[in-house]
Structure 1
Amino acid sequence: MTANTSRFFLLSVLALLMAASRAHVFDHFSPPDATWAVFFVGGFLLRGWGRAVFPLLMALAMGIDWVVISSHSMAFWDHYCVSAAYWGLIPAYGLLWMGGSWLRRHYRGADLAAAGRLLAAFLVAVTACQLVAQGTFYWYSGVVAEPTLAGWWQNFLDWLPGYMGTAAGYTAIAAVLQVAAERVAPLLRAARAAQH
């Protein structure tokens, strides 16, 4: 499999995961929203393709939202979660992508130092994403009648653990698969070489 074929496969998996989880197709049976992890992991796995892939994933996320909201006979811009603040998702998800991309630039293989960098990059990226996404919604959506700094901070603290926990679960799965691929690929190459 060539590098481009491999990246296209990974992009397809990430896009399908986001579509399946963000759309809530199966209502209570759908998996938790993987969007945040998709952008972080995408930044790691697809670094170098960002100029094309990041806008594509953003368009997919927004397209999914439009389809889901429209399917409930609602006007997209009248939905509770959609306002001028909705555009804050672009820089928020961009921060996740940048966190994954930073991690990839400093990645030399699976080891303890890489695990530490993963944890640091993940925590910073998710916290920054939440600051932007939740902050723009709190201050600019018009949903909060009387916004205050204390109210914003409490809202930030209330929502951060859930988003971080969900993204951490998906990211941990991706990390395990990355390590497995690194360990298995050399064994497969050695086995093929032994057959020839």
Structure 2
Amino acid sequence: MTQTQRLGIFAALALVMAATRVHLSLFHHDIWDASWGVFFLAGFWLSGSGRWAFPLLMAEAIVVDYVVITHMGISFWDHYCVSLGYWFLIPAYGALWIGGSWLARHQRGLSLSMLTLTVAVLLVSEAACYVISNGSFYWLSAHVPSPKTFTAWYENLGDWYLPFLQTTAVYVGLGAVLHVMSVQLARLSQHSGQAQH
């Protein structure tokens, strides 16, 4: 993959994340936040470019959050979702990136076994992201009433896990379809070029 292609993929993913991350308070429509799927797909498609792509996507996520929150007339630090736990989004999103990057290194073409591996890696990395992000918010946010217990945290984990998994899976599924289509188009183009020679 050329650097130009990498930059194009990065720009597309950054645009999708920005467009879906701002929706809650700016546009009032029901588009799911693609951030988790974007970090997983970026890890896959931009594997090897983590030194620049991951920090830029993280910076984008924080800037979008800041713009959205302040647009609502609220101080960034006073928003319900912002606490010491907010900074744990870095390792949480990092888990998604690592999952996608690991999958890219172990990719062996288009097959049922590859699909199974993709689902397994997505489930593990999404679960790690969820536990880190949810746990850091639960244990570090002043908005969660005390006393904080492992039982209450476990119940909270169960309340939100499936919606986050569903949203992430939808975006990664769309990315997988685009990936398969691009691989097939590249093969057709290659065969067509060979046939002409």
Which category describes the TM-score, using the shorter chain as reference length?
over 0.9
1:4 pairs with 2:3: yes
Shift of 1:112: 1.1
TM-score by length of 1: 0.95
Distance (Å, rounded) in 2 between the aligned partners of 1:137 and 1:42: 25
What aligned pairs does 1:12-161 form with structure 2 within 5 A after superposition?
12-24=11-23, 25-29=26-30, 31-146=31-146, 147-161=148-162
Deviates further, 39-48 or 104-113: 104-113
Distance (Å, rounded) in 2 between the aligned partners of 1:78 and 1:28: 24
Matching residue's letter, 2:68: V
Secondary structure, in 3 states, of the residue corresponding to 2:144? coil
Distance (Å, rounded) in 1 between the aligned partners of 2:106 and 2:120: 12
Task: Kindly provide the CA deviation profile for residues 151-171 of structure 1, in whole angstroms up to 9, marking residues without a partner as x.
Answer: 100101111100100000010
Q: Residue in 1 aligned with 2:172?
A: 171
Distance (Å, rounded) in 2 between the aligned partners of 1:100 and 1:190: 29
Shift of 1:192: 3.8
Matching residue's letter, 1:154: E
Task: Kindly provide the CA deviation profile for residues 79-110 of structure 1, in whole angstroms up to 9, marking residues without a partner as x.
Answer: 00001110010010000000001101100211
Task: Kindly provide the CA deviation profile for residues 23-53 of structure 1, in whole angstroms up to 9, marking residues without a partner as x.
Answer: 1142125x20000000001000000000111
Shift of 1:172: 0.5
Q: Residue in 1 aligned with 2:183?
A: 182
Distance (Å, rounded) in 2 between the aligned partners of 1:194 and 1:98: 39
Shift of 1:189: 2.5
Shift of 1:115: 0.6
Distance (Å, rounded) in 1 between the aligned partners of 2:60 and 2:44: 19
Provide the aligned C-alpha RMSD in A.
1.2
Shift of 1:194: 4.1
What number of residue pairs does the alignment pair up?
Answer: 194
Matching residue's letter, 1:123: L
Secondary structure, in 3 states, of the residue corresponding to 1:86? helix
Shift of 1:193: 4.4
Secondary structure, in 3 states, of the residue corresponding to 1:27? coil
Task: Kindly provide the CA deviation profile for residues 92-141 of structure 1, in whole angstroms up to 9, marking residues without a partner as x.
Answer: 00000000011011002111111111011000000010000000000001
Distance (Å, rounded) in 2 between the aligned partners of 1:111 and 1:129: 27
Matching residue's letter, 2:154: W
Distance (Å, rounded) in 2 between the aligned partners of 1:61 and 1:81: 13
Runs of 5+ unmatched residues, structure 2: none
TM-score by length of 2: 0.95
